Amino acid sequence: MYNVREINKDTWWLGASDRRIQLFENTHPVPNGMSYNNFIIMDEKTCLLDGVDESVSRQFEENLAHVLNGRTLDYLVIDHMEPDHCAVIPDLVQRWPNLKLVGTPKTFDLIRQFHGFDPEPHAIKVKEGDTLSLGRHTLQFVLAPMVHWPEVMVTFDQLTGTLFSADAFGGFGAIGGAIFADEVDWERDWADEARRYYANIVGKYGPQVASLLKKVSKLDIKEIAPLHAHIWRRDFDQILSLYAKWAAYEPEDNSVVIYYGSIYGGTANAADILSVKLAEAGVHNVRVYDVSKTSVSELVSQAFRSPTLVFASATYNMGIFDGMRELLEDLAAHAMKNRTVGVIYNGSWAPQAGHLMLDAIQKMKGMEILDPHVHVTSVVDGSALEELDALAAAIVKKLGK
């Protein structure tokens, strides 16, 4: 049975959530599921804005049939060609042979690659600022390349002020009927998953996100409708200010994140001791994560939040312990930069993790590595304790406590 909501004049949400999914993009844990939004404008012409993931395609079909109520689908605007939004394209084209597909030139290359048919007979290729009239509604296209794929654009409805924002401003997690951010306690319940989504899906492309923010700031936006999670119709500053920070790799607060990779507990002990010293010195929100236990998806997200990152690792196979190596590689892959960094390394006979971590950290831009680099030999002893004291003092000084 159909399950839709009208979100603005002539404009309907047709989306659905998948609560069985375990890993989004087969890598990011989504314990609360995943939502896939898409929208339709019912004007003199009918226009679908993006599709959905295959997992919710049945619900989408029922929603689409209900809102169309026997009318023909005239246009499909493809803001983003990733399969979590485009699984239904071949079905739509087959059902409506005269359907026009609207996208950037790169969109049509990707249709060919993913779906194996020639989209040219259906293609309307748009460039920056082009418009499409549906009757009362005029759609304006704003290109957003590499946010986070090359073909991405966002679509602005000049009549309603709705910005169909593709993946931008989205989040992890299934949503219920409360599809608007003002219908939930967004800050309390959803901000963390919006950050984790941004950091992992879009975070590598901060300059491109900043460029998009600049372009859309010139539009008279009344509603922001992303392809995942909640739709915004007020308090835009809440999400826009977070995006401005994340895009600039600016931390949100004055906290410290301590990541440790520990085999038998010596390195974990050093991390915990440091966290106590920082908390006693008045640092708010000191967070400690075991990299072997916590998903790297969450670990990367925390780095976008905090100005101070401490990496503590045992030496393993003459290298950095597994989870820590993956974390440092992932942070570099996401272009993490401009953080204050502490290093704790452990090695019972050849403490290689220390210089290898320093090498990995120095590959990231703007990383200020504090002294001392704390050396633990198997377990924390008096010498390591003194170095932890000194590192805590350096972090506290840097934070201006």
Which candidate, 303, 160, 130, places its Cα nearest to that of 233?
160
The Cα 201–Cα 204 span in angstroms is 8
Single residue of 16, 38, 85, 230 touching ligand FEO by CB under 6 A: 85
Contact between 193 and ligand FEO by CB under 6 A: the answer reads no
Q: Which residues face 46 on adjacent strands?
A: 42
Binding region for ligand FEO (CB under 6 A) out of 10-18, 77-85, 103-111, 352-360: 77-85
- DSSP per residue over 167-218, as a string? TTT--SB---S--BGGGTTHHHHTHHHHHHHIIIIIGGGHHHHHHHHHHHTT
User: Could you say which residues in the range 140-179 bind ligand FEO, by CB under 6 A?
Assistant: 148, 167
What is the smallest separation between the CB atom of 227 and ligand FEO, expressed in angstroms?
Answer: 5
User: By C-beta, is 83 or 372 nearer to ligand FEO?
Assistant: 83
Which of 13, 63, 80, 334 binds ligand FEO (CB under 6 A)? It is 80
Assess 339 for contact with ligand FEO (CB under 6 A). Answer: no
82 contacts ligand FEO (rule: CB under 6 A): yes
Does 79 contact ligand FEO by CB under 6 A?
no
Q: Are 181 and 230 in contact (CB under 8 A)?
A: yes
Q: Work out which of 227, 273, 303, 384 binds ligand FEO, going by CB under 6 A.
A: 227
Q: Are strands 131-133 and 138-143 parallel, antiparallel or unpaired?
A: antiparallel
Q: What is the chain's alpha carbon radius of gyration, rounded to the nearest angstrom? A: 24
- Give least dist CB 84 to ligand FEO, A: 4
Cβ at position 148, least distance to ligand FEO in Å: 6
Residue 352 has phi, psi (to 5 degrees) of -70, -25
Nearer to ligand FEO, 68 or 213 (CB): 213
Nearer to ligand FEO, 171 or 342 (CB): 171
Residue 254 belongs to what H/E stretch? none
Report the C-alpha gap between 314 and 266 in whole angstroms: 8
> Which residues contribute to the site for ligand FEO (CB under 6 A)?
80, 82, 84-85, 148, 167, 227-228
